[in-house]
Chains A and B, each alone.
Chain A
Amino acid sequence: MKKAIRFVSMILCLVLLCCCLSSCGQKKEEEGNGDGDLSGKTLTIGLVSSLADNTGKLHQEVINLFIDKWNKEGTLYGANVKLVAYDNLNNGAQDTEMSIKCVQKLLSSDHAQVIIPGQLSNIIQAVGGLINDGEAVGIGLGLAPTWMEQGWEYVYRTALNNNFQIPSVTATMNSLNQKNIAILYQNTDNCLTFRDSIKAAAIEDGLNVVAEEMLADGSGTGITGQITSVINSDPDTIFVTAMGGSFGTVVKQLRQSGYKGMIYIGQILMTTEVDSIGDEEVNGVIMCSPYVSYERIEDCNNDFVKSCLQEFYDKYGYCPVDDQFYKMWDAMLLVQNAVLAAKSVDAADMQKAISTLKFDGTAGTMDFTKGSNECYYGARAWVYTGQGVGGAPVALEDWLTMDVSKKVIITKQS
């Protein structure tokens, strides 16, 4: 017993020693030299993501691209910008508890003024309160409306809220005369709210939900049962909402089970997923999104997006496959404009400045003046044609005039 107590005291001393040692190395921030000049001040951007996988790598690459540019050109009134990235992966999945610890560390240890808690809505939901209380600018890349409903003043979104996407989805369904829809969803925060909203919107717009099935998460589990059930309910179209990265499997299985209609998906497909589904099968996959991903920069016909992609390509030598690229790019634009408008790297000043901001982002004008902390309010419909390498999607109107649209059963009623 006594031996053990001595042990405990030793451990406690060790903890204390660690605390002291690691706090020794930190320097106090220097004061700025007056208004409009932030040289000597540091802007710390904190990132919480799964750094080991491709999403986290892409997040870091985009942030580093901006930081290098800013620091080289002194864009932010000479302020020094640095990135502190923490990993929240726990046993193969991003974990809310880990994320909470990461944000605690970012707030109290690194004094980050800007915190980006990744792209998963449940994680943003878990850490949003902390970020708000810690008075740092939080930029969420998730799509679920839930975390925005908490009324956190400091938390912003640089992506499209699902609730703003749904009107275009149901409008598209109505315009194509697709009355019976079936829903496939995964059991995540984002997908559940998406399912509920789409059901409500469908009833309002006179559509019938003929079937809804939950997909088991994790690959390697049979989803054939759900897919058979959905197909046998004979829908005009199927709406799929799942985690980014798992659409490929679902679309592939739907097509392999002989479904020939259109498939609405809740998020854009990564170009790797398009490849994994196959050209013929991806034809007729439709989504409502502000942007799409491209395999080659030449496929893009929006000048602004093209220049962003080109800048990324010049630095890293590949074209980003994921819509995380656009979300993070917009987040960085937000940081840049906030600092420029506030003439300060203080989070409270930035927060005040953001509510007056209106500038161009990857999906058109980012408008923060409406007081909702959101910036995008609408989406357009894109359809994959499955033609050519990469198969960049085209606008719905264009697709309907193409020959490939005849291979897909658009509606069963006509």
Chain B
Amino acid sequence: MEERSKERSSSRKNIYRISGIVLAVLIALLLPVICGFLESGAYYLNVINYIFVYTIASTGLNVMTGYSGQINLGGAAYFSVGAYAVVILCNAGVPTLLSVVLAMLVVAFFGFLTAVPAAKLKYHFLALATTAVGEVVNNLLTVSPGGITNDTHGMFVKALVLFGFKFKSDASLYYLLLIMTALCLLFTWAFLHSRTGRACVATRDSVDAAGSCGIDVRQYKIIATVVSCVMIGFAGFLFAYLNRYISPDTFAAGKSTMFMSMMMLGGSGTLFGPFLGAVLITLIMELLRGIQGSGPYMQLTYGFILLIEMMFMPQGVSGAISDYKYKKDRRRMEAAGGDGKDA
């Protein structure tokens, strides 16, 4: 009798889940249409597009920081290299798809270049070193050799053309970004469940234990860094075509902090944490922007959110939620008496 009711409740749960997923997918697919009916739909769609880009970037950061345990405060460097490399190659007449591939190779090489010496640094110094990487790259963008980045004048970006289709409207970009975000999340999931991914997580949890299991810690740290850099660089490429204008000030140190704060606020080391963080931070900022007279306090609020988050829930929102659930479960088990202890 009891088992049957359990079964029934779990099958009901499954129905809820499936209908939830279907609803989510439906909403995600129809969002541009819905936005078309809204008064400020174009603006909302634009904001959602930025959320997708930042989700990809902070998911990339999550691979390095959340899963492999190496802090990176220079995310903007890889972001900018990805953006600039694609735009420069495209302007030189290289086909878009090829230039994206080439640009990702550039980012990967660049990531490798910094990962090799950085893999032996402890986290505080890794924080310092990655900050410096971010600074150096930003400096080189402003005074580039031969002026290839057009220095502080910035570069205009033409509309993205892929397979003969021109991604000019926000709606078309939305679908592109939606697919790319889904693919990136899927890739991250697959990566984490691969042998390499598991090894990376093991190095985060305990370097010594991982080493004693025969894992080459340094090698996996480098792999995680390169994968992470490529994902951030890919987000940079999408950003360039979304923003349609890139200049060095967009890739300043503040951007690295933003990626970090998105990842931390959502919950580092969780698959959907970065997405959650990107949504929360972008929404909070945009809602604040909507309140007249709040302008001067926007940055202050952003700082405070980050500070309070670090003080009271460093595991992020998803960490706090699972913490709450865990406590609730335990309370229920305790209330049930001896039953809970066995389970």
Classify A-B as touching or not with yes or no (CB < 8 A). Answer: yes
Is B120 part of the binding interface, using a Cβ–Cβ cutoff of 8 Å? no
- In the complex, the answer to whether B27 meets A16 with C-beta atoms within 8 Å is yes
Decide yes or no whether A394 CB sits under 8 A from chain B: no
* A-contacting 9-mer, from B85-93, B243-251, B306-314: B243-251
Q: Any chain B CB within 8 A of the CB of A409?
A: no
Query: Which A residues touch B117, using CB under 8 A?
Result: none
Of A5, A9, A23, A187, the residue contacting B152 (CB under 8 A) is: A187
CB distance from A385 to the nearest CB of B (A): 34
Q: Could you tell me if B39 and A9 are in contact, using CB atoms closer than 8 angstroms?
A: no
* 20 A-B residue pairs with CB within 8 Å: A8-B275, A9-B20, A9-B21, A9-B27, A12-B31, A15-B44, A15-B279, A18-B287, A19-B41, A19-B44, A23-B40, A26-B39, A52-B296, A89-B299, A95-B249, A97-B250, A101-B289, A108-B40, A108-B41, A125-B153
Distance of A26 Cα from B142 Cα, bound (Å)? 42
Is B38 a contact of A19 with CB atoms below 8 Å? yes
B296 touches A104 (CB 8 A): no
Task: Enumerate chain A residues within 8 angstroms of B318, measured Cβ to Cβ.
Answer: 7
Q: How far is the CB of B50 from chain A (nearest CB, A)?
A: 7
Please give, as numbers and ranges, the residues of chain A lying within 8 Å of B126 by CB-CB distance: none
Render A47-81 as a binary contact track against B, CB cut-off 8 A, 1 for contact: 00001100010000000000000000000000000
Taken residue by residue from 208 to 224, chain B's Cβ proximity to chain A (1 for < 8 Å, 0 otherwise) reads as 00000000000000000
Q: Could you say which of B27, B257, B279, B289 contacts A86, with CB atoms under 8 Å apart?
A: B289
Binary A-proximity of B97-110 (CB < 8 A = 1, otherwise 0): 00000000000000
Is B276 an interface position by the 8 A CB rule?
Answer: yes
User: Is B94's CB within 8 Å of the partner chain A?
Assistant: no
| Any B CB within 8 A of the CB of A315 | no
Give a binary string over A4-48; 1 marks a CB under 8 Å from any B CB, 0 the rest.
111111011101101110110010000000000000000000000
Where chain A touches its partner, the secondary structure class is: helix
* A90 and B39 contact, Cβ closer than 8 Å, known pairs A122-B152, A122-B247, A122-B249: no
- Cross-chain contact A22 with B290 (CB below 8 angstroms): yes
Question: Roughly how many angstroms separate A105 CA and B28 CA in the complex, as a whole number?
Answer: 22
Tell me the smallest distance from the CB of A354 to a CB of chain B, in Å: 25
Report B235-262 CB contacts with A as 1/0, cut-off 8 Å.
0000000011101011011100100000
Tell whether B114 is near chain A: CB-to-CB under 8 Å.
no
B-chain residues with CB within 8 Å of residue A15 when the two chains form the complex:
44, 48, 279, 283
Which of B16, B276, B298 interacts with A89 by CB under 8 Å? B298
B34 CB-CB contact with A under 8 Å: yes
Q: Which of A13, A86, A92, A126 has the most CB of B within 10 A?
A: A126
Residues of B within 8 A of A (CB): 16-17, 20-21, 23-24, 27-28, 31, 34-35, 38-44, 46-48, 50, 142-143, 151-154, 156, 189, 243-245, 247, 249-250, 252-254, 257, 270-272, 275-276, 279, 283, 286-287, 289-290, 292, 294-299, 318
Q: Which residues of B contact A16 (CB under 8 A)?
A: 27, 31, 34
Return the chain A residue nearest B28 by Cβ: A12
Name the residue among B28, B243, B295 with the largest chain A CB count within 10 angstroms: B295
Within 8 A of B (CB), among A134-188: 146, 187-188
The CA of A399 and the CA of B340, in the complex, are separated in Å by 92
- CB–CB A87/B298 < 8 A: yes
Residues in A84-117 with C-beta less than 8 Å from chain B: 84-87, 89-93, 95-97, 100-102, 104-105, 107-109
- A122 to B298 CA separation, bound complex (whole angstroms): 22
Complex Cα gap A12–B31 (Å): 9
Q: Pick the residue among B42, B253, B292 that contacts A85 (CB under 8 A).
A: B292
- Verify if A244 is at the interface (C-beta below 8 Å from B): no
Contact check, A105 vs B289: say whether CB atoms are below 8 A apart: yes
